[in-house]
Structure 1
Amino acid sequence: MNVLSFFINNFHKLPPESYQKFLELTELKKFNNKDVLTKTGDKPTDLYILKRGIVRSYYEDENGKEYIRSLFVPFSSTGSFGALVSNKNSLLTYQCLTDCELFVINYKKLKELALVDNDIAVMYANALESIFLLFEKKIYNLSVLDATERYKELKKEIPNIENIIPQYHIASYLNISAVQLSRIRKKIYSK
């Protein structure tokens, strides 16, 4: 089974004719490390399904300090969903942290297809529910878990994260300093 059908079937098994219509909306593209998919202030047109690599979403404060909101890994969707749904400018920047392969889907065309194909509409609704649940979990983790527990959760999701992206990105994602991350790692790995 290919990556795209695996991804879609997590939300709703599409009949062959609906799957073919969905395929016609997608284009597999390669992006390099540090390529920006959407920049803060831009009005996005596309959403993405990650086949390979890691993408981050982040914002910058007035001093230029970056705060990572999310890390996206293979078989997940990414893009400025809030901006796409509301037809507004993106509040975040979406950037590749590694070389990536992404299925690019024009959001407007997907919505148009969902209006005429009930199976696509069900898949779309289920995907939005899944995104909502992921963000709810992220808010919960930031509110309830301490930094060590958040780091352990990240390691469950991306076991070899330290070998893929820089430590300062990991620290930013965990909402801690690089020094705090170093202490956490030392404590965990010294046991």
Structure 2
Amino acid sequence: MVARKIFKDLDLSKADLDLIDSRLEKVSYRKGDIILKVGEEVPYQYYVEDGCLRTFFQDKKGKGHTLQFAVNDWWISDYTAFINSRKAIMNIECIQDATVYRMTYQQLESIYRDVPQVESFFRRKLERAFASFQNRILSTMADSAQERYLLFLKAYPEVDRSVKNYHIASYLGIATETLSRIRKRLAKE
């Protein structure tokens, strides 16, 4: 019963948990799978049970920019497109083998209607995510590359050890070589 794991902080009845589970679809992906491409419909949001995914886009010069990592117990989607029924503006890549549960916007809305506590759960998650993105924007504007890396380590401690340097560098908005220099400097301290 994955709903019990996802909504562990909520006091939900067995009927509520069964209803939620009936609306979640378990899917497995392999490292390297692109599960969403720019320009596609965005039918799902994903709950990561195991593994690691990232959202990214490519600029006009073809350079990749990572917006978000999603590891165990995190949610991921192209939320701009998912919520507004638009085409994807970013990609989702599986960067470690992953097991996820996905649901459509309609399924999410029906859960909100049938289990109101879930709506407030997601509202709180979205508020925290919005604050996190706002802090990340401010950090990108004001903090040094090393300060941004240290903040990254706090937010994603398990990601640093398990993904490629260039993914982390693209998330931080720095060159891979810069990340290597920062890591060497921190190791000496």
Does 2:144 match 1:154? Answer: no
Q: Which residue of 1 aligns with 2:137?
A: 139
Q: Which residue of 1 aligns with 2:29?
A: 31
- Per-residue CA distance 1:91-128 (angstroms, 9 max, x = gap): 11011111111111122121133234323333333333
Does 2:54 match 1:56? Answer: yes
Give the C-alpha shift of residue 5 in structure 1. 2.5
Q: What amino acid does structure 2 have at the position aligned with 1:164?
A: S
Say which SS state the counterpart of residue 54 (structure 1) adopts. strand
Q: Which residue of 2 aligns with 1:5?
A: 4
Over 3 Å counting, the alpha-carbon distance change for 1:118 and 1:162 in structure 2 is closer
- Per-residue CA distance 1:42-74 (angstroms, 9 max, x = gap): 111111111111111111012211111111111
RMSD of aligned Cα (Å) = 2.0
In the TM superposition, what are the counterparts of 1:81-100 in structure 2 within 5 Å?
Answer: 81-100=79-98
Q: What amino acid does structure 2 have at the position aligned with 1:125?
A: R
TM-score, length-normalised on structure 1? 0.88
TM-score, length-normalised on structure 2? 0.89
Which range moved further: 95-104 or 118-127? 118-127
Q: Say whether the 8 Å CA contact 2:153–2:160 is kept in structure 1.
A: no
Over 3 Å counting, the alpha-carbon distance change for 1:16 and 1:133 in structure 2 is farther
Contiguous gaps of at least 5 residues in structure 1:
none
Q: What amino acid does structure 1 have at the position aligned with 2:54?
A: R
Q: Say whether the 8 Å CA contact 2:54–2:93 is kept in structure 1.
A: yes
Q: Indicate the percent of aligned positions where both proteins have the same amino acid.
A: 23
Q: What amino acid does structure 1 have at the position aligned with 2:118?
A: I
Over 3 Å counting, the alpha-carbon distance change for 1:16 and 1:135 in structure 2 is farther
Higher relative contact order (CA 8 A, sep 6+): 1
Q: Which residue of 1 aligns with 2:77?
A: 79
Q: What amino acid does structure 2 have at the position aligned with 1:95?
A: E
Q: Which residue of 1 aligns with 2:120?
A: 122
